[in-house]
Chains A and B, each alone.
Chain A
Amino acid sequence: MSERQPLSFHVPAPAVRPGGTPDFSDVTIPKAGSVRRPPVDARAEDIRDLAFSIIRVLNRESEAVGPWAGLLSDAELLEGLRHMMTLRAFDARMQMAQRQGKTSFYMQHMGEEAVSCAFRKALEPGDMNFPTYRQAGLLIAGGYPMVEMMNQIYSNENDPLKGRQLPVLYSVRDHGFFTVSGNLATQYIQAVGWAMASAMKGDTKIAAAWIGDGSTAESDFHAALVFASTYKAPVVLNIVNNQWAISTFQGIARGGSGTFAARGLGFGMPALRVDGNDYLAVHAVAKWAVERAHRGLGPTVIEYVTYRVGAHSTSDDPSAYRPKTESDAWPLGDPVIRLKNHLIARGAWSEERHKQREAEIMAEVIAAQKEAEAHGTLHSGPHPSARDMFEGVYAEMPPHLRRQRQQAGY
């Protein structure tokens, strides 16, 4: 008894707070090309090391190296660069539109563009994503018109969701983009259910689940891993670790040990960590997991190691909880610049063409914005009818809703 000290309570805290010098020295970054590429039918227990490393393709010299390199052509990489640049320009304009009062809310992807843009190109037609609010790259890279996204953000007369949903909570069934919910992690288990359904029906389609580092603490994350593991569902379980859940650093969700990918190991699922700012690595790992799922080999957990450069949302001020220059110190750099430099190193791109492309893309985004704004913004111009508010609660409007619609004057 006397040898025992009073217990102490442990609350993890980030190494640095505002005013401090950013420090990522505790983040171990393996050399590009150093992580092996197992066959897609590898057994989970034989590749446990991949849950504790980081698969990387682009090295410091902007070369694509190692066993995960060589999957994409110049044209495909240029297309990927265009997607990421488009998403960044889209973000910039919508961020500004929010500041101008044209919409109530927006969420950027700054620094995370490679994750959703590259993943989208690994999927096949008919596959279904169950995204969070920070995977608009799935839509951009899937060719969904920006003007439709803006119509949703503006809740205008052409809003595909009739003004019922908060900005950025898109829903685009035809583009394999499941309706985004404000409730975190709920879609993770739904993706598993969708994949189970595909397997139950003998279909060939697979599902992709998406979650952030913070939301892995939600119980639906656990439910999803249990169900995916039990039924060997054809699903890719994506975890985007951008280090921050609003103001809480990832240690609050995870503690100081293990990795998010390693969560999958306890469920007997292959788990890989990948450099989330490396378009080539993201695409190669996604392709590996998608192939596994399509071949009926079961689910895969992927942790994308990245950094949330922007604020959590337009309602957030990160300078209140982390150093302002922290993103500059992030060791995995910027996904757009890294791919640009790689294409230049390949001789397929140049600084001038990049600048020119940047201007072209911005012009496209602005044109889309003008078109969307012609159909209204949140507080001005045409907007969905209040009558629409009562539609779609049920397949057929029940009597009590008909009464309420009449009371509302419609």
Chain B
Amino acid sequence: MPRRNMVEAIRDAMDVAMGRDDNVVVFGEDVGYFGGVFRCTQGLQQKYGANRCFDAPISESGIVGAAVGMAAYGLRPCVEIQFADYVYPAYDQIVSEAARLRYRSNGQFTAPMVIRMPTGGGIFGGQTHSQSPEALFTHVCGLKTVVPSNPHDAKGLLIAAIEDDDPVIFLEPKRLYNGPFDGHHDRPVTPWSRHPQGEVPDGHYTLPLGKAAVRRAGTGVTVLAYGTMVYVAEAAAEESGVDAEIIDLRTLLPLDLETIVESVRKTGRCVVVHEATLTSGFGAELAALVQEHCFYHLEAPVMRVTGWDTPYPHAQEWDYFPGPDRVGRTLKAVMEA
């Protein structure tokens, strides 16, 4: 089986989708000739021509707004926002337009489009290269929000997102582009080539949007995580000795509530882990759903381990990032509750 890192898997997904459907087009800042600042679109312009993959002016609302118009025409744009931290100028187009097109036109116009954006911290990115804005999208009806955690999922989910008839926010944890990261920043990073999830089949395959994956089976506590936090949670479980069941949500909306509820009803405990800030973060929705659907099975309060309610700092990177120590302590605390 070929091995790919996450960048290569994402590029391969676009390559496969463009090869299968002439209506798939890819554009964004530095996406064309140069192949993207993270190399995710390298070679696509050469292979498919500037009609299919091209550079855009530095205008996020322009990129998303133009994509909405293209989608209304009948194309399937897969656009890139260089960093999730820079998506805000496009927020009006995403929320008021892409997400509502189908509803407000009663299906006359639709927005089958994907907005890819590198997300997350752990890279000394400071305030504007580290944010995790997923809750700003999961709150918007009409959008789907996806966060892959490994190359295999990234490719299958991105092809599924491009083929999906609704607008999909595709958040790529840039900390995972080259290899899994468990929060131990003092240790060298293992490349994807030495990780089983780095095995990425050639050609076309999809993973269903709205389906979670159990990464580690356990009986003590259910951990709900996505993106980089999946590996942090795995490390925390090993190091704390808590027999945690770790669920990688993969799609935040629509959410795989069934898998979550089944696990929490079995373990009786639940910890939610995300990089994003705590207050009104996606963890709040998860905690609310768990207590609503699993109240009589819960042995302890649902706990959240998240980024602090501050802008993402630079020098204090590892005091901010919810690492395996912090997660492990919460796992133990929940087990003792």
Q: Which among A66-74, A178-186, A302-310, A323-331 touches the partner chain?
A: A178-186
**Measured between alpha carbons, how far is A220 from B68 in the docked complex, in Å?**
13
**Measured between alpha carbons, how far is A164 from B105 in the docked complex, in Å?**
9
**Measured between alpha carbons, how far is A192 from B57 in the docked complex, in Å?**
13
The 10 closest A-B pairs by CB, nearest first: A193-B69, A193-B66, A189-B65, A223-B62, A190-B69, A179-B105, A398-B254, A197-B73, A194-B69, A171-B105
Residues from chain A with Cβ under 8 Å of B107 in the complex: 392
**Measured between alpha carbons, how far is A378 from B72 in the docked complex, in Å?**
29
**Measured between alpha carbons, how far is A236 from B102 in the docked complex, in Å?**
25
Residues from chain A with Cβ under 8 Å of B52 in the complex: 200
A190 and B68 in contact, given A393-B141, A393-B142, A395-B165 (Cβ under 8 angstroms)? yes
B106 adjacent to A197 (CB under 8 Å): no
A196 and B109 in contact, given A186-B93, A189-B61 (Cβ under 8 angstroms)? no
A34 close to chain B: CB less than 8 A: no
Residues from chain B with Cβ under 8 Å of A179 in the complex: 101, 104-105, 108-109
**Measured between alpha carbons, how far is A164 from B69 in the docked complex, in Å?**
21
Most buried by A among B59, B65, B100, B141: B65
User: Could you pull out 13 A-B pairs where Cβ atoms are within 8 angstroms?
Assistant: A161-B106, A190-B69, A193-B65, A193-B69, A194-B69, A194-B72, A200-B75, A207-B69, A220-B61, A220-B92, A220-B93, A227-B57, A399-B254
B110 adjacent to A395 (CB under 8 Å): yes
Residues from chain B with Cβ under 8 Å of A219 in the complex: 61, 89
A193 adjacent to B104 (CB under 8 Å): no
Q: Which A156-201 residues sit within 8 Å CB-CB of chain B?
A: 160-162, 164-165, 169, 171-173, 178-179, 181-183, 186, 188-198, 200-201
Residues from chain A with Cβ under 8 Å of B141 in the complex: 393
**Measured between alpha carbons, how far is A207 from B65 in the docked complex, in Å?**
14
A196 and B254 in contact, given A183-B92, A220-B61, A227-B57 (Cβ under 8 angstroms)? no
A400 close to chain B: CB less than 8 A: yes
**Measured between alpha carbons, how far is A20 from B29 in the docked complex, in Å?**
52
B257 to nearest A CB, angstroms? 7
Cβ contact of B109, chosen from A171, A183, A191, cutoff 8 A? A171
B164 to nearest A CB, angstroms? 8
A394 adjacent to B166 (CB under 8 Å): yes
Most buried by A among B59, B73, B93, B142: B73
B43 close to chain A: CB less than 8 A: no
A224 close to chain B: CB less than 8 A: yes
Most buried by B among A160, A169, A172, A219: A219
12 more contacts with CB within 8 A, not counting A193-B69, A197-B69, A226-B62, are A128-B73, A183-B92, A188-B65, A189-B65, A189-B66, A190-B97, A192-B69, A193-B70, A200-B52, A201-B75, A220-B65, A395-B166
**Measured between alpha carbons, how far is A162 from B102 in the docked complex, in Å?**
12
**Measured between alpha carbons, how far is A192 from B74 in the docked complex, in Å?**
14
A183 adjacent to B106 (CB under 8 Å): no
B25 close to chain A: CB less than 8 A: yes
Residues from chain A with Cβ under 8 Å of B51 in the complex: 200
B66 adjacent to A186 (CB under 8 Å): no
A399 to nearest B CB, angstroms? 6
Q: Which B53-83 residues sit within 8 Å CB-CB of chain A?
A: 56-57, 59, 61-62, 65-70, 72-75
B29 to nearest A CB, angstroms? 13
Which chain A residues have a beta carbon within 8 Å of chain B's beta carbons? Answer: 128, 130, 160-162, 164-165, 169, 171-173, 178-179, 181-183, 186, 188-198, 200-201, 207, 219-220, 222-224, 226-227, 230, 392-395, 398-400
Against A, the Cβ 8 Å flags (1 = close, 0 = not) of B13-25 are: 0000000000001
**Measured between alpha carbons, how far is A222 from B60 in the docked complex, in Å?**
12
Cβ contact of A223, chosen from B59, B101, B253, cutoff 8 A? B59
Cβ contact of B72, chosen from A190, A223, A230, A392, cutoff 8 A? A190
Q: Which B137-196 residues sit within 8 Å CB-CB of chain A?
A: 141-142, 144, 164-166
A194 to nearest B CB, angstroms? 4
A178 and B66 in contact, given A197-B74, A219-B61, A399-B257 (Cβ under 8 angstroms)? no
B302 close to chain A: CB less than 8 A: no
A81 to nearest B CB, angstroms? 31
A226 adjacent to B108 (CB under 8 Å): no
B210 close to chain A: CB less than 8 A: yes
A73 to nearest B CB, angstroms? 33
Q: Which B236-265 residues sit within 8 Å CB-CB of chain A?
A: 253-255, 257
**Measured between alpha carbons, how far is A197 from B65 in the docked complex, in Å?**
13
**Chain B minimum-CB-distance residue to A191:** B69
Residues from chain B with Cβ under 8 Å of A392 in the complex: 102-103, 106-107
**Measured between alpha carbons, how far is A188 from B68 in the docked complex, in Å?**
11
**Chain B minimum-CB-distance residue to A130:** B69
A400 adjacent to B104 (CB under 8 Å): no
**Measured between alpha carbons, how far is A189 from B69 in the docked complex, in Å?**
8
**Measured between alpha carbons, how far is A200 from B141 in the docked complex, in Å?**
31
A7 to nearest B CB, angstroms? 30
B46 close to chain A: CB less than 8 A: no
**Measured between alpha carbons, how far is A173 from B104 in the docked complex, in Å?**
12
B210 adjacent to A398 (CB under 8 Å): yes
A226 adjacent to B59 (CB under 8 Å): yes
B58 to nearest A CB, angstroms? 9
B66 adjacent to A227 (CB under 8 Å): yes
B68 adjacent to A193 (CB under 8 Å): yes
A394 adjacent to B102 (CB under 8 Å): yes
Residues from chain B with Cβ under 8 Å of A224 in the complex: 62, 65
Residues from chain B with Cβ under 8 Å of A395 in the complex: 102, 110, 164-166
Most buried by A among B66, B75, B100: B66
B59 adjacent to A227 (CB under 8 Å): yes
B66 adjacent to A171 (CB under 8 Å): no
Most buried by B among A128, A194, A197: A197
Residues from chain A with Cβ under 8 Å of B142 in the complex: 393-394
**Chain A minimum-CB-distance residue to B55:** A230
Residues from chain B with Cβ under 8 Å of A226 in the complex: 57, 59, 62
B73 adjacent to A194 (CB under 8 Å): yes
A190 to nearest B CB, angstroms? 4
Against A, the Cβ 8 Å flags (1 = close, 0 = not) of B89-124 are: 100110011001111111111100000000000000
**Measured between alpha carbons, how far is A207 from B73 in the docked complex, in Å?**
10
Q: Which B270-284 residues sit within 8 Å CB-CB of chain A?
A: none
**Measured between alpha carbons, how far is A107 from B101 in the docked complex, in Å?**
22
Residues from chain A with Cβ under 8 Å of B110 in the complex: 395
**Measured between alpha carbons, how far is A193 from B66 in the docked complex, in Å?**
4
A196 and B69 in contact, given A223-B62, A399-B254, A399-B257 (Cβ under 8 angstroms)? yes
**Measured between alpha carbons, how far is A302 from B49 in the docked complex, in Å?**
33
A178 adjacent to B109 (CB under 8 Å): yes
Residues from chain B with Cβ under 8 Å of A178 in the complex: 72, 109
